[in-house]
Amino acid sequence: TVHVKTLLNFVEKHKGFVYERVRLERDPEAPRLLVTIRAAKRSKPCCSVCGARGPTHSHLAPRVWQGVPLWGITVLYLYAMRRVACRTCERVIVEAVPWSRGKHTITTSFALFLARWAKRMSWKQVAHAFGVSWQAVYAGVTMAVEYGLAHRTLDDVEALGVDEVMWRRGTFLTVVYALDEGRRRLLWIGRGRSKEVLRGFFDWFGDHAHTLRFVATDMWQAYMAVIKERAPQALNVLDRFHISANLNKAVDAVRSQEARALAKQGKDVLKHKRWLLLKAPENLSEEQAATLAELVKINLKTFRAYLLKEELRQLWGHASLTFAAAFLYTWCRRAVASRITPVARFAKTIEKHADLILNWFRAAGSINSGAVEGLNNKLKITLRRSYGFRSYEITCIALYHAMGDLPESPLPRRFCSVV
């Protein structure tokens, strides 16, 4: 017969402590296992400040910690903490125990167990499923993130993606991703999108910046300036998805202006046509494609802007840097000559940054800038799930936990098979 104490000693044995007694409270609604722990004979308590061992001064009233549930039964650990007469600190201090940290009311193994589940469910759902508070789940996730950040390696990072995302109204976060194949992950988060914020990343990144080969960004001037300053050897590749998104905004601005002008004349040819114009042709239904083909025949600025947008997509299909450069130059000249103000303004912007756009061809497929968009989408989902997180610190913990691909403590794997 295998006893509960035998199982506990197998999965979580603590040197200097003994599982003395296990009692089952047979409440059909909420059964509980009460596990009493005592210090081993002749063991000395460990000071929770300096870590030195010393003689026992006195005992406190028994404390209770919630542990990893067994067969769906709540497990509670009971132990009377000792007070250490610490010679190093020269005062009496409560001991440190190996199954928990500080004043937490859950064990470390249970905290990390909750953190693993929090990768699959919202924190609120995890708290409800295991009968703990939201704060307990947060404590577990924080422990997991602290362990992961302390044990991760940055030696393999050669490609970065830098972007800004809206966190709260008027507040941006700068996020830095590792884009290396097979290890795409969130590396760093900063509050704001200024030069000083990104310099903060490079200060933290240190000498690893010297091994960078590629950095993907949008056309935000602050980011481009800092990358040139702190990683001059790296190719700054302007993200093609941001370029396409900015051109879409220009086309939509043309549509909006022209739709208002036509509405005053009683014409609604552009009404409800926004997504028809912004969708890629391959994503249109047969009916939408037929409608668009008829509309393009009408000589409106909106449809001329649409044709210019679709023409620029051909840039990314060029295999030669020389042909790509010639194509981009010609397209910019035609866009400026179109006198369609939003599109012409966009063309002047990308002409100014043409060299960085052409770095996409110089990188020759070594960096997938689309990965930034994919990671951003995952980040936005995480932020939506974390709508109740009120502080910057909690938001960072949630993002690192969900997207940091951090090393995990081996401790919870004995209890939890969630991947």
pLDDT at 325: 95
Among 315, 277, 308, residue whose Cα is nearest residue 293:
277
Domain match, 265 and 329 both: yes
Say if residue 378's pLDDT is above 60. yes
Which domain does 169 fall in, by range?
A: 159-239+369-400
Domain match, 293 and 352 both: yes
Judging by beta carbons within 10 Å of its beta carbon (0-12, 13-18, 19+), is residue 198 exposed, middle or buried? Answer: buried
Lowest mean pLDDT among 106-120, 197-211, 386-400: 386-400
pLDDT at 371: 82
Say if residue 175's pLDDT is above 90. yes
CATH number where 185 lies: 3.30.420.10
Instruction: Output the six-digit token pair for 45.
Output: 């308590």
Domain match, 115 and 258 both: no
Say if residue 419's pLDDT is above 50. no
Q: Tell me: the pLDDT tens digits for 336-350?
A: 999 899 999 999 999
Q: Tell me: the pLDDT tens digits for 5-55?
A: 888 888 888 999 999 999 998 888 888 999 999 999 989 999 999 999 999
Dump strand ranges (E) for 71-218: 73-86, 91-96, 159-168, 171-178, 185-191, 214-217
pLDDT at 2: 58
Average pLDDT, the chain: 88
Domain match, 146 and 164 both: no
Among 315, 299, 186, 174, residue whose Cα is nearest residue 247:
315
Q: Mean pLDDT throughout 234-251?
A: 90
pLDDT at 46: 94
Domain count, the chain: 4
pLDDT at 187: 97
379 alpha-carbon distance from chain centroid: 5
Confidence of residue 277 (pLDDT cuts 50, 70, 90): low
Domain match, 396 and 325 both: no
Spatial separation of the C-alpha atoms in residues 68 and 411, rounded to whole Å:
11
pLDDT at 54: 93
Q: Mean pLDDT throughout 109-119?
A: 92
In a domain, 193, yes or no: yes
Domain match, 138 and 127 both: yes
The helix-helix angle for 301-312 and 321-337 (nearest 10°) equals 170
In a domain, 416, yes or no: no
Report the 10 Å Cβ neighbour count for 245.
13
Domain match, 166 and 116 both: no
Q: Tell me: the pLDDT tens digits for 63-73?
A: 999 999 988 88
Report the 10 Å Cβ neighbour count for 364.
9
Q: Mean pLDDT throughout 104-116?
A: 92
Q: Among the ranges 162-166, 270-274, 284-288, 414-418, which has the highest mean pLDDT value? A: 162-166
DSSP assignment of 306-317? HHHHHHHGGGGG
Among 414, 404, 415, residue whose Cα is nearest residue 119:
404
pLDDT at 414: 55
DSSP assignment of 24-40? EE--SSS-EEEEEEEEP
Spatial separation of the C-alpha atoms in residues 235 and 214, rounded to whole Å:
5
pLDDT at 358: 93
Percent of the chain with pLDDT over 90: 58
pLDDT at 17: 95
In a domain, 342, yes or no: yes
Spatial separation of the C-alpha atoms in residues 231 and 125, rounded to whole Å:
43
Q: Are 160 and 179 in contact (CB under 8 A)?
A: yes
Say if residue 142's pLDDT is above 60. yes
Domain match, 68 and 115 both: no
In degrees, to the nearest 5, what angle opens at C-alpha 408 toward C-alphas 404 and 393?
45
Q: Mean pLDDT throughout 373-393?
A: 80
In a domain, 388, yes or no: yes
Q: Mean pLDDT throughout 387-410?
A: 87
pLDDT at 235: 94
Q: Tell me: the pLDDT tens digits for 385-394?
A: 765 667 889 9
Domain match, 46 and 190 both: no
pLDDT at 250: 94
Question: Which one has a higher pLDDT value, 389 or 354?
Answer: 354
Spatial separation of the C-alpha atoms in residues 330 and 150, rounded to whole Å:
51
pLDDT at 1: 46
For the entire predicted model, the pTM comes to 0.83
